[in-house]
């Protein structure tokens, strides 16, 4: 049966109630609706982000996620190093191959650059979060710095006993949390000496002005209920990383509820979503797949958009149309045009819950040329401040705490995210102009969208209008 009218519950209780007094907890009342809007400044340098902070803020983003900031490899087999390409002479994923946990690498810049970025972001009320990855080192473990080896009591103590055995079954929790992934040897995150060294790095980032972290490969770091590696005594990394427990007298310098911390816990069988979700916010990777299915099919009934595909409350989910992995690894999402990505973004961002993340594609890229200008450190393409993207961001901010009702036209090609009687986001995901009607909660009257100047009329709860191909419209009660 076709679902033409769906009402989403007006109030969903979060799994973790954040402390109301935390000065840097910039999402104090998620039960009222998530305010956070994240720009993933993928492969931008700290200085590039700083230079574009005004445009980022004006586009309505509240948070910027930087690339990993720690020391990393500059070359791999077949690449002599020193190149600054995303893919070629240089690689975008080099910053995901740590050689030491100290601030600064050739892709993002120096510690001083990070301090300057955080100071600039603060002027605009934007928070900086950093992608962190304690789970593994570079594929070539001989690149690891002597200082790191010395800090953990020798190179052999840096890794799990199982750390050089490739994961064969990602649903086997011992393999998943202690084994080598894609050739990346698995760090013994339960070694107190490593924990102390890593937390020194985290606190150094905080001292620079960083106010949150994205934990890469978080599902590969063991939970207390997981099997324990022979080289470890207990799975206590998360208790230390989140400040619930000190290590050798060192503790997180800002309480966890004063930071925004989320983990890349990609969904699959036997993933302990609830246990991870009780500790940190999580990525809604399956929901991103749903949105891409809908965009590719140009029909809102192509997949189940009204199911978050997750056991964790949507207040604590990071949502996206695409991630850097879906774009880069198998180019799963790279073939979707930017205008269609924008429509998925308008839908996600207009919703009351979820914490939408906008992945910044490379400058000059296209479905035919995924790497575009192919330069590390520069700004991505102009999509992050496209008028439709900015309109969706500002719509979200204006609708905090408003209940959500989602309606479709009869052909399932147009969707409306209605936010109480205050506003509605309309999205056409097809490549055709469509004149249609659909139910809305907007009061009767005439509405003109600010981006396109398109007029819509509402009478007795029915909205009528003509929608341009692949377009979105933010309407507000007069």
Q: Which residues pair with 63 in a beta bridge?
A: 38, 127
End-to-end CA distance of the chain: 36
The pLDDT assigned to 153 comes to 95
Half-sphere exposure of 232 (CA within 13 A, CB side): 30
The pLDDT assigned to 341 comes to 98
pLDDT digits (tens, 9 = 90+) for 119-169: 999 999 999 999 999 999 999 999 999 999 999 999 999 999 999 999 999
Handedness of CA 14, 314, 33, 393 (dihedral sign): positive
Q: Could you count the other beta carbons within 10 Å of the beta carbon of residue 116? A: 17
* Paired tokens of 371: 């790497």
Max CA-CA distance within the chain? 73
* Paired tokens of 162: 């199982």
pLDDT at 326 exceeding the cut of 50: yes
Give the separation between CA 165 and CA 184, rounded to whole angstroms.
10
E strands present in 187-335: 212-215, 260-263, 281-283, 317-319
pLDDT digits (tens, 9 = 90+) for 201-243: 999 999 999 999 999 999 999 999 999 999 999 999 999 999 9
DSSP per residue over 24-79, as a string? T-S-S-GGG-----EEE-TTB-HHHHHHTHHHHHHTT--EEEEPP-EEE-S-BTTB
The pLDDT assigned to 30 comes to 56
pLDDT at 13 exceeding the cut of 60: no
Q: Please give the average per-residue pLDDT across 157-185, as a whole number.
A: 95
pLDDT digits (tens, 9 = 90+) for 236-279: 999 999 999 999 999 999 988 899 999 999 988 888 999 999 99
Q: Strand 98-103 to strand 38-40: parallel, antiparallel, or no bridges (unpaired)?
A: unpaired
pLDDT at 294 exceeding the cut of 50: yes
Whole-number mean pLDDT of the chain?
92
DSSP per residue over 83-100, as a string? ---SEESEEGGGGGSEEE
Phi and psi at 94, nearest 5°, equal: -60, -35
* In contact, 312 and 274? CB cutoff 8 Å: yes
The pLDDT assigned to 255 comes to 85
Sheet bearing 455-459, strands edge to edge: 434-439, 462-467, 455-459, 445-448
- CATH numbers and ranges of domains, the chain: 22-401 (3.20.20.80), 402-478 (2.60.40.1180)
Query: Which residues are known catalytic residues?
Result: 216, 264
User: What is the model's pTM?
Assistant: 0.93
SS3 450: coil
């Amino acid at each position: 049966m076709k679902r033409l009218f769906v009402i989403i519950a007006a109030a969903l209780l979060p799994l973790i109630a954040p402390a109301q007094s935390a000065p840097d907890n910039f999402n104090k009342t998620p039960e009222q609706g998530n305010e956070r809007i994240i720009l993933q400044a993928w492969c931008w340098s700290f200085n590039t982000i700083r230079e574009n902070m005004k445009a980022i803020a004006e586009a309505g983003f509240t948070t910027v996620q930087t690339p990993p900031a720690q020391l990393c490899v500059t070359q791999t087999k077949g690449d002599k190093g020193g190149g600054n390409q995303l893919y070629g002479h240089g690689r975008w994923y080099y910053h995901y191959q740590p050689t030491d946990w100290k601030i600064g690498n050739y892709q993002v810049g120096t510690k001083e650059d990070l301090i300057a970025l955080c100071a600039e972001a603060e002027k605009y009320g934007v928070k900086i979060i950093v992608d962190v990855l304690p789970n593994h080192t570079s594929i070539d473990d001989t690149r690891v710095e002597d200082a790191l080896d010395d800090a953990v009591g020798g190179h052999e103590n840096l890794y799990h006993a199982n750390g050089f055995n490739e994961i064969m079954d990602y649903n086997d929790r011992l393999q998943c949390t202690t084994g080598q992934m894609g050739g990346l040897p698995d760090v013994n995150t339960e070694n107190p000496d490593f924990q102390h060294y890593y937390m020194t790095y985290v606190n150094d980032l905080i001292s620079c002005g960083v106010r949150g972290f994205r934990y890469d490969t978080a599902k590969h770091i063991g939970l207390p209920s997981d099997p324990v590696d022979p080289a470890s005594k207990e799975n206590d990394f998360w208790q230390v990383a989140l400040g619930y427990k000190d290590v050798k007298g060192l503790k997180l310098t800002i309480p966890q509820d004063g930071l925004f911390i989320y983990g890349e816990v990609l969904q699959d069988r036997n993933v302990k979503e609830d246990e991870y979700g009780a500790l940190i916010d999580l990525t809604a990777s399956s929901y991103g797949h749903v949105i891409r299915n809908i965009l590719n099919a140009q029909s809102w009934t192509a997949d189940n958009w009204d199911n978050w595909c997750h056991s964790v409350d949507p207040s604590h989910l990071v949502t996206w149309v695409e991630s850097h992995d879906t774009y880069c690894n198998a180019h799963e999402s790279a073939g979707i045009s930017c205008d269609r990505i924008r429509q998925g973004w308008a839908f996600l961002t207009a919703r009351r819950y979820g914490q939408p993340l906008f992945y910044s594609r490379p400058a000059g890229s296209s479905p035919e040329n995924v790497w575009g200008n192919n330069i590390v450190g520069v700004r991505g393409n102009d999509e992050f401040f496209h008028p439709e993207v900015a309109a969706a961001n500002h719509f979200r901010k204006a609708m905090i705490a408003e209940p959500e009702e989602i309606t479709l036209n009869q052909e399932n090609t147009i969707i409306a995210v209605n936010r109480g009687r205050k506003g509605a986001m309309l999205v056409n995901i097809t490549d055709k102009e469509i004149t249609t009607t659909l139910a809305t909660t907007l009061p009767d009257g005439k509405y003109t969208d600010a981006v396109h100047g398109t007029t819509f009329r509402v009478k007795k709860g029915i909205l009528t209008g003509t929608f341009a191909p692949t377009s979105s419209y933010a309407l507000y009660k007069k």
